[in-house]
Amino acid sequence: VAAPDHDPARRLLLARGAAIFAGLTATGITGYGVRTALGPPRLDRVQIPLAKLPRAMDGLRIATVSDIHLGPLRGRAHTERIVAAINRLDADLVAVVGDLVDGSVAELGSAAAPLRDLRSRYGSFFVTGNHEYYSGVEEWVQEVDRLGLRVLQNRRQEIQARGGVLDLAGVNDLTGAGTGLAAGPDFAAALGDRDPSRPVVLLAHQPLAAVEAARYGVDLQLSGHTHGGQMVPFNLAVRLEQPVVSGLGEVDGTKVYVTNGAGFWGPPVRVGAEPQISLVELHSA
């Protein structure tokens, strides 16, 4: 009779060793993810050519941040750190593209207050994200406006800079429904009846908005929402829902840049998608 080609005790030892190794690895990855999520946002710089951008406006810089997610684990110090990082960039425009809060103005108004210190040459702007609709969107629109950010609720703003003109538009998040401050996106109101010879940059929380934005000839959409995937398996679900998950992509001829977000939602873990503030530099093509 042939001898067995394995030793049960040895197999048990190897199995236990593999389980311990997997456990230590998971613990290490989780620990790394927690440190990353709670750490300072990384600065990413991206240069994006726009065919319609006047040469006089070449190099216009937009500091872009999303998904700050103020809440129980992220308070005033988180906002202060983000504001200080943005102010060091000396940007022409600041764009906060949604999901600022996870709670009411009564709970988080003090945490959001440092936003009043944001500095830029031509203004700071805000559009709603889906989490604003869970947190009292009417109050937050009024509060953000009070802090000095111009809330682009289905409207656009003419930006005159360096002798050129650019349209900066914003739409409410796709989650919105109803009327007034709680209304959903209205692309026609924000983008219709404008001078098509001007470049237009659209602020929209979800990358998916680009499907409709492309029908209006939007040159560039700045978005967040995805957290860059944040962690497995969330990243897989995001890829099924959104046309661009992180960085620069394109949807039906419209360029879409997605910043990873400066905070987190759910467990304070980020693996493979560091928190981020993006400096978007526009260039005439």
Q: In a structure prediction context, what are the per-residue pLDDT tens digits for the chain, which is 285 residues long? A: 555 555 666 666 665 555 555 444 444 533 434 434 445 788 999 999 999 999 999 999 999 999 999 988 778 999 999 999 999 999 999 999 999 999 999 999 999 999 999 999 999 999 999 999 999 999 999 999 999 999 999 999 999 998 999 999 999 999 987 777 788 999 999 999 999 999 999 999 999 999 999 999 999 999 998 887 644 455 556 677 888 988 999 999 999 999 999 886 644 443 445 889 999 999 997
Tally Cβ neighbours within 10 Å of residue 217: 14
Place of tokens 């980020």: 270
Query: Are the C-beta atoms of 58 and 281 separated by less than 8 Å?
Result: no
Q: How many CA atoms lie within 13 A of 251 on its CB side?
A: 24
- H or E element at residue 179: none
Place of tokens 């009292």: 136
Single pTM value for the model? 0.83
Distance CA(140)–CA(130), nearest Å, equals: 12
Q: Is the bond preceding residue 49 a cis peptide, omega within 30 degrees?
A: no
